[in-house]
A and B are shown apart, each in its own frame.
Chain A
Amino acid sequence: MSGGGPAHGPELTATAAAGDSPQSAGAAGSVASSGTPFVEARPSIWAKFAKSSPLAALITQRLALSVALLFAVSLMIFGGVEALPGDFATTYLGQSATPQAVENIRKELGLDQSATTRYFQWLGGALQGDFGTSWASRNSVSEQIGKRLGNSLFLAFFAAIISVPLAVGLGMLAVQYRNRLPDKIINVVSLAAISLPEFFVGYLLILFFAVQMGVATFPATVYESMTFGQRLSAIALPTATLVLVVLAHMMRMTRAAILNVMSSAYVETAELKGLSSLRIIAKHAAPNAVAPVINVIALNLAYLVVGVVVVEVVFVYPGMGQYMVDAVTVRDMPVVQACGLIFAAFYIFLNMFADILAIIANPRLRHPR
């Protein structure tokens, strides 16, 4: 991973979410599930365990793998930030740097030590749950991240509980009326929403609802002394923006997956039995189409947590994305590391969760030969 190491994660998701293709979801899923050889090398106790409770075995295996992945991620982030031009002392002081001030900062933070020493010092702390203090603000990283992560999750949660049922419902509706007017309207509107860049959607919403009509709260800054109701009102516009951005991807995936199943023999049988079309979609087609849909949803949820920095900036929302970008700008390593690891953990966890759900939903995956 080159210069843009830490910032790369969110970018990747953005393209994955924007590229309206089932393949991207499949690819991400398979990357996360490539851990089989590791298991086969184990002795027979593991094999027995894997046979008796395949799901538990899978989870154990995945958890072990994710620890290794997180370790690799931390190494890559460290390498990436090291490779960026300039260190914390020079970038933080920027144009106002004097050699003496730079020297003093380097000495105080131990930047004069070798990169390996610094990495292992950081790793030693992180293994004991101590992510250190931010070099720039000298505050505890875990404390600051706690707040920011809470904000990000709050926004992502509301965006998700609106967008996921809406996307799945609209997807089913589109199948029901496929190639007819409702299907076309849903498609055109959702495609239009996904084609507009998210900042533009944001600006449009601000223009209409905050500036012209004056009904929405703007800026969406949230802070501690706010009540729950005030918070909800503050995040209304960013939530709407996020819903519009992620909706189309999930909706079209739902539609494609169900249509795929609809052409199979057993659906034809169900139709011949005289079942209503809605019942066929909901009861017979949907469960078999659920695996790819879950993968897309998982990716979009990850995007909602990790990749919304542009929306945060436009709406002045204090989330994780902005926090990490600020830290990368001045090479504040402890903060970049902590943010990067949290983002990576979210990806790994959501992918694992999606795979497990897919297995539970599909008996053929639940009992492999």
Chain B
Amino acid sequence: MTDYTKYLTSQVTLGKMNRREFLGRTAAFGITLAAAGTMFDTAARAQEPKRGGNLKLGLEGAAATDSKDPAKALSQFMFVVGRNWGDMLVESEPLTGQPVPALAESWEPSADAATWTFTIRKGVKFHDGKELTVDDVIKTLQRHTDEKSESGALGVMKSIKEIKADGDKLVLVLSEGNADLPLLLTDYHLIIQPNGGLDDPNAMIGTGPYKVVNFEAGVRATFERNKDDWRQDRGYVDTVEMIAMNDATARIAALSSGQVHYINRVSPKTVDLLKRAPTVDILSTSGRGHYVFIMHCNTAPFDNNDLRMALKYAMDRETMLEKVLGGYGKVGNDFPINETYALFPEGIEQRAYDPDKAAFHYKKSGHSGSVLLRTSDVAFPGAVDAAVLYQESAKKAGIDIEVKREPGDGYWSNVWNVQPFSTSYWGGRPTQDQMYSTAYLSTADWNDTRFQREDFDKLLLEARSELDEAKRKEMYRTMAMMVRDEGGLILPMFNDFVNASSKSVKGYVHDIGNDMSNGYVATRVWLEA
């Protein structure tokens, strides 16, 4: 917790975080407002939301191939589009990541956390006027789980064995206990659609704060306020216009000339220039996404833990954070969890750049010759630069890394999760359990470090159904140490989400859940004239 506060304070010093954010974030971690206030030196002043206006967003990530079906939403653009027109059963609290009610009013687990009963909110209307029923919810979840499903949420939903109604309540039966089930339902694919979207998955009819007026894939999407919205604390503007802007310079030009109010994906290379514009606020949010260098633990030469340790110590994290992310991020500690997760195991010693230790482990491993690292800028922005920086820092430890630049096209299918040593990116997951289950469980499809340990798998399953938080936290600590000291993951840094808005945009919520205020940017902000 102290580490995290230190980080927040440093962000303030660097001018990367404003007072409201700072207070909000520290408060979320149990620091009293008064204490935080002294840290920042002035108290926060609450602002009253204002209604009306036309909000324009210029976003990267749209393509002409985008599907309107939320099950197939993949791009950043479609992520925000979905948040505008639809609702999930559960949302995550922006600052703590805890599950909070959305279309599900409340929920109750069984003692073994394997059966969950959800009360569905009453009086909610879809955009077409129909009232939301438990049947719509069941059909939606079924559409994302049946064996013909092409849904991006298929992996998340795998553990759900049975979906049924109990009167007007929803009952989910899992194949094993999972204390985090509500958070799994926050997945952005799982928008509740009338009749589960079986009639027309592309209709874009939901219960969200905005109705879709016009949608042209890869070009533009417009929305108008849903006057019958079931919630009053969102959807402040009258109309939203989202414009696809895949060129970074175009986004910056559009924002600084006042043509749009908000842009995403501001490059760390240009952020300092943009900061000088008098009409622009830089919005930097710490998140769970991380840049990684991954080794296959079961493939020579990386099947030798000494070589893996040598490569971990050979990473100069501070320099990399400064050079590749311009300081907009936080150094990693070779396990995929940071302070933004609930039950984060604190106090694990930060691994630092240590050429001597690296050389020691390298000698012990008995490896000779160069180590081949494959990379591409598709892996994460600046991945090729990062690989070259790594090559330099490793050289000082006497380790010779050969950097091979791979074509970006097909990187995810041919290099990542295929080749034994490559660069990659992981977005965060709502819970520690999900992060580990997705990429560190022996049997996971995306176990991209080929980390296979029975004791780890066992611990993961035990922790999943453990409802005692203290015990659970201790389990996560053991797991983190296993990955950190024996895994194939080198995690130099967690990246901040860097976006920017014009000063007339107010009420931006820095959501740790995901980029662009967890996709809710258009539903949460308002415009000040």
Contacts and interface: CB of A to CB of B under 8 A. Distances in A.
Indicate, yes or no, whether A interacts with B.
yes
Interface of A: 84-86, 90-101, 104-105, 108, 134, 136-139, 144, 147-148, 203, 206-207, 210-211, 214, 218-219, 221, 223-225, 313-316, 318, 322-323, 326-327, 329-330, 332, 335
B202 A219 contact: no
B414 A86 contact: yes
Given A93-B152, A219-B259, A316 B65 contact: no
Nearest to A151: B219
Contact of B64 (A85, A137, A211, A314): A137
A138 B245 contact: no
Contacts of A92: 65, 74
B434 to A, nearest CB: 13
B254 interface: yes
A315 B245 CA distance: 9
Contacts of A218: 253-254, 257, 259
Contacts of A314: 247, 249-250
A137 B257 contact: no
5 contacts: A93-B152, A99-B445, A211-B253, A219-B250, A326-B65
A97 B150 CA distance: 10
Given A86-B413, A93-B74, A101 B67 contact: no
Which of A98, A137, A219, A335 gathers the greatest number of chain B CB atoms within 10 Å? A219
Given A206-B253, A314-B247, A329 B409 contact: yes
> Contact size class for B?
35 or more
Contacts of B214: 223-225
Closest 8 CB pairs of A and B: A136-B65, A85-B410, A86-B413, A326-B63, A326-B64, A318-B219, A90-B413, A211-B257
B13 interface: no
Contact of A313 (B216, B250, B410, B446): B250
Contacts of A206: 249-250, 253
Interface of B: 58, 63-69, 74, 147-152, 154-155, 202, 214, 216-220, 243-247, 249-250, 253-254, 256-259, 409-410, 412-414, 416, 424-425, 445-446
A96 B74 contact: yes
A211 B249 CA distance: 12
A101 B216 contact: no
A221 B218 contact: no
Contacts of B150: 101, 104-105, 108
A101 B253 contact: no
Contacts of B258: 214
A316 B149 contact: no
B218 A318 contact: yes
Contacts of B64: 137, 144, 148, 322-323, 326-327, 335
Contact of A219 (B149, B155, B254, B413): B254
B243 A221 contact: yes
Nearest to B58: A219
A211 B258 CA distance: 8
A84 B408 CA distance: 12
Nearest to A220: B250
A101 B149 contact: yes
Contacts of A329: 63, 65, 409
Contacts of A90: 412-413
Given A137-B217, A203-B249, A329-B63, A100 B154 contact: yes
B377 to A, nearest CB: 14
Contact of A137 (B68, B254, B259, B416): B68
Nearest to A318: B219
Contacts of A85: 409-410, 413-414
A104 B74 CA distance: 17
A100 B147 CA distance: 8
B257 A84 contact: no
